[in-house]
Structure 1
Amino acid sequence: MFLTGFAALAVVPTLPTATADLHGVALFPLVAGCFVAASLLGGVLGGTWSDRSGARDPLAAGVVLTVLTLLVSAASTSIWQLAAGRFLDGLAAGLSAVAVNAAIGQAYPERLRPRVLALMSACWVIPSLVGPPVAGLVSELWSWRAVFYGLAALTALPALLLVPVLRRHAQPRTPDDRPPRPPLFIAAVVSVAAALGQYGVSGRDARHLLFVALAAALLIGFAPRLLPAGTWRALRGLPTTVLLRGLSSGTFFTLEAYVPLLLLTERHVDPVVSGFAFTGAAIAWAAGSWAQGRLLQHVPRHRVVVLGALVMSAAVALAVLGTHPTVPALTAAPAMPIAALGMGLLAPALTVLSLGHSPAGREGHTSSAMQTNQNLGQVAVLALASAVLNTCLSLGTTQLAAYAAAFTLLTAPVALLALLAARARAA
């Protein structure tokens, strides 16, 4: 997880340089969105694979595939090859993320899961501090391709470490105990729809609106088939837990996308401040995760979710306040670390609740549902916020007022987090 964090965080600041070098700036939203879209499909594959044969094989496959896809991206001769590399990298990330959660559910008793999840979050702190600046420096002084090649070499280490682990395969399940085959066609359609939505919200013309409408239709028609029955109706237990994962993730990543944009384009804050905000968010997430695993380990998990939601509501309020022209320009900057602190509290709590609701041998399926709705939440909430922003701009409002409206929208998912948390409580 530590080395995978480097690969994830170092690639993002390199993508703009790579797309410009490959003469594909117009397709940057598609390149950036391919990763999230493909992780939907990877999560479904990883979940069913983990239930069928244990989490070792899909975890190893995800790590090995990550190395190969970094090499594909590094050798890109066109923007389409880079997009394909990012798509495959998202597939690998989905495999790995779901396999890690499934492994925790299969190997650790419930009382230790909050601590293990806190350790997983802590693995991202140093990569968040070192990865982006080192990648930027290498890209500027040498080449963006060197970043991808270097990350491939670095990520190969855990792939080699997994070789002796793979010699101890889990016992195969009997045919009667095997879970049903994954709905690969449905997962593929949802992945494509997510990519179309990411591209569609990047503009306001008729073509982009058509992509948004098509993506929405496909997601509404197919996404529920990848989730527990009753997820969008917030039925008690696992359905509500999965729903809350999407709401929380969508709120956080929308703040992560628009707060830096607000600071740079409207409040004219130095880009270094945005970099510190990202770093502070990673540290705050790890701190929140540590707190829920140590200081709050005896508190019922659904109450930890409520606490995290309250912290995130403070972040949303700060982002809205930061759009007012009379307040200091840096007012909105702490919104990202505060929201990350809330996520550090509630995200592991939701994972523990989901594994607690999962039947034995179905941890992979449960982790897949959580990963799927996490990505769907990112796509849906970000798309709604983008629609509000673009609509306000088209009506002639100021940029700051448009940002205020988009941030105000986020009060709805945060309020639902707090109100519905009791429906996700452990049995």
Structure 2
Amino acid sequence: MFLTGLAALAVVPTLPTAARDLDGVALFPLVAGCFVAASLLGGVLGGHWADRSGAHRPLAAGMVLAVATLLVSAASTSIWQLAAGRFLDGLAGGMVAVSINAAIGQAYPDRLRARALALMSACWIVPSLVGPPLAGLVAGWWSWRAVFFGLAVLTLVPALVVVALLRGRSWPPAPAPSADRPRSPALMVATAVSAGAALGQYGVSGWDMRHLLFVAGGLVLLVVFAPRLLPPGTWRAGRGLPATVLLRGLGSGVFFTLEAFVPLLLVTDRGAPPVLIGLAFTGAAVAWAAASWAQSRLLEDRPRHHLVVAGALVLATAVVIAVAGTLSAMPAFVAASAMVVAAIGMGMLAPSLTVLSLSHSPADRQGYASGAMQTAQNLGQITVLGLSSALLNACLGAGSTDSAGYAAAFGLLLAPCLLSTLLAARTRIT
């Protein structure tokens, strides 16, 4: 998990530079969105595989695939190869994350599971602090390809050790699939949603008939299949769990889009060094952790839906800062600071929504609620990023300057922020 976190957090700051060098800035949303779309599919695939054959097989397969996909991305000669690498990386990441949780459940006694899960969460702390700035330094002094190759070499030996240990250890047999847990339909739905998301991300990169057809095909798949992964009433913000799930998607979409487009703005329009982008990611990680701690300790007596409102307003503030950062008179660190402010908002918003989702669900449905929240997060990231990408490319296609296009794309993010503020009361516990 430490290596998975290091690879995930170190790679992201280098992607704008890679897209620029591969002449694929217009397709950058596809590169960013492929990982999210594939992680949804990888999570479902890994969970079903772990239930059928034990968690050791999808975990080993995910580790091997993680090394292979780093090599695919490092050797990219086109933006399409980089997008394929990111898709495989999302598939591996989803499989590993779900398999680790399943492995803890299958291999550890009850008294050790909570400690094992806490250790998995702690494994992300150091990567969030050192991964992005270190990757920025390597990309600035050497090459973005060196980041991918270095991570592949770093991951190879531990991955082989894990695979060898899993093969040599006896594993408790997985329980037989129960009749009330359909597996193939859920996997088909996840595949359709991932395909729809990928088609949509490619379609918004242009405005000719071919791109519009891809957008239409992606929308059809999402409209038909995505509701099957979410609670009934999510799209109309039904009170309780549906509204909570919807707001998780909206907030995550805003944060993910800022996290994707602010570095792209800094690289393509401001010529900022990669190390600045890495520091922005590290600052965002620290700010998220600090805000999360504050809401759990200093603000624990406040009603949770009030914290949702506060988090959404802080996200809106981050959007305004990002818009201001597109002005040529503003220094580059202004735009970079939008990521840190947005992380403060998410540090308040995301844990509060998670607590509300569990409070709205009976004990035997909390797993379903957690899965719905994760699915909404992925769908929100893909949808909001796609809409902002479409607006950015439309502005650039109409002859607008890069700064004006980014300002329009950022300005669009105010809509989900304000909608979250208005709908927060529907998440409260009655």
TM-score (norm 1): 0.79
Q: Does residue 317 in structure 1 map to residue 320 in structure 2? A: yes
Alignment counterpart, residue 385 of structure 1, candidates 379, 384, 388: 388
Aligned amino acid, residue 373 of structure 2:
M
Cα displacement string for residues 377-422 of structure 1 (whole angstroms, at most 9, x for unaligned residues): 1111111111222222333333322222221111111112222222
Equivalent of 1:227 in 227, 230, 240: 230
Q: How does 1:183-222 map to 2 (within 5 A)?
A: 183-222=186-225
Name the structure 2 match of 1:307.
Answer: 310
1:42 aligns with 2:42: yes
Q: Which residue of 2 aligns with 1:334?
A: 337
Label 1:72 to 1:101 Cα distance change in 2 as closer, same or farther (>3 A).
closer
Contact 1:47 / 1:368 at 8 angstroms: preserved in 2? no
Mark the runs of 5 or more structure 2 residues left unpaired by the alignment.
none
Q: What code does the residue aligned with 2:3 have?
A: L
CA distance in 1, matches of 2:197, 2:326: 29
Label 1:424 to 1:11 Cα distance change in 2 as closer, same or farther (>3 A): same
- Aligned position for 1:87: 87
Task: Quote the Cα distance in structure 2 between the aligned partners of 1:158 and 1:291.
Answer: 37
Question: How far apart in 1 are the matches of 2:35 and 2:231?
Answer: 24
Which residue does the alignment assign to 2:240?
A: 237
- Give the match's secondary structure for 2:295: helix
Deviation, 1:343, is: 1.1
TM superposition shift of 1:307: 1.9
- Show the counterpart of 2:415: 412
Contact 2:69 2:85 in 1 (8 A): yes
Q: Distance in 2 between matches of 1:300 and 1:48?
A: 37
- Structure 1 pair 194–397 and aligned structure 2 pair: CA distance change class (3 A): same
Structure 1 residue identity aligned to 2:368: H
- Distance in structure 1 (CA, Å) of the matches to 2:138 and 2:197: 28
1:147 maps onto 2:151 in alignment:
yes
Greater relative contact order (Cα 8 A, min sep 6): structure 1 or 2?
A: 1
Q: 1:134 to 1:5 in 2, by over 3 A?
A: farther
Structure 1 stretches of 4+ with a deviation exceeding 6 A read 14-29, 47-50, 77-82, 99-105, 115-118, 140-143, 156-166
Deviations 1:334-365 (A, max 9, x none): 10110011112211222222233333344433
Query: What's the offset of the Cα at 1:425?
Result: 2.5
Partner of 2:9: 9
CA contact (8 A) 1:253 1:382 kept: yes
Kindly tell me: are residues 355 and 160 of structure 1, through their superposed partners in 2, closer, same or farther at Cα, counting changes over 3 Å?
farther
Displacement of 1:116 in angstroms is 9.7
Aligned residue in 1 for 2:260 = 257
| 1:10 maps to amino acid | A
State the SS of the aligned residue for 2:93. helix
Q: Please report how far the alpha carbon of residue 228 of structure 1 lies from its aligned counterpart in structure 2 after TM superposition.
A: 0.9
Does 2:301 match 1:298? yes
Residues 203, 338 of structure 1: alpha-carbon distance in 2 compared, 3 angstrom cutoff: same
- What is the CA-CA distance between 1:143 and the residue it aligns to? 8.0
| 1:409–1:147 distance in 2 versus 1, CA, 3 Å | same
Q: 1:30 to 1:388 in 2, by over 3 A?
A: closer
Q: Find the residue that maps to 1:183 and give its secondary structure.
A: helix
1:309 CA displacement? 1.2
* Equivalent pairs, count: 418
Q: 361, 367, 372: which one pairs with 2:370?
A: 367
Does the 8 Å contact 2:189/2:225 carry over to 1? yes
Residue 337 to residue 158, structure 1, CA distance change in 2 (3 Å): farther
Q: In 2, are the aligned partners of 1:255 and 1:336 still within 8 Å (CA)? A: yes
For the Cα contact (< 8 Å) 1:259–1:333, is it kept in 2?
yes
AA at the equivalent of 2:65: T
CA distance in structure 1 between the partners assigned to 2:329 and 2:347 by the alignment: 32
* Contact 1:320-1:407 at 8 Å conserved across structures: yes
RMSD across aligned positions (CA)? 4.2
Aligned partner letter, 1:125? S
User: Given the superposition, is the C-alpha separation of residues 70 and 328 from structure 1 closer, same or farther in structure 2, using an over 3 Å criterion?
Assistant: closer
2:426 corresponds in structure 1 to 423
1:233 CA displacement: 0.7
Q: TM-score, normalised by structure 2?
A: 0.79
- The answer to whether structure 1 residue 396 and structure 2 residue 361 are counterparts is no
SS at match of 2:235: helix
Conserved? CA contact 1:190–1:218, under 8 Å: yes
Worse overlay, 131-140 or 329-338: 131-140
**C-alpha deviation, 1:254, in angstroms:** 1.0
Q: Against the structure 1 CA distance between its residues 186 and 142, is the aligned structure 2 distance closer, same or farther, given a 3 Å change threshold?
A: closer
Cα distance in 1 for partners of 2:428, 2:297 equals 19
Q: Is the 8 A contact 2:11 2:148 kept in 1?
A: no
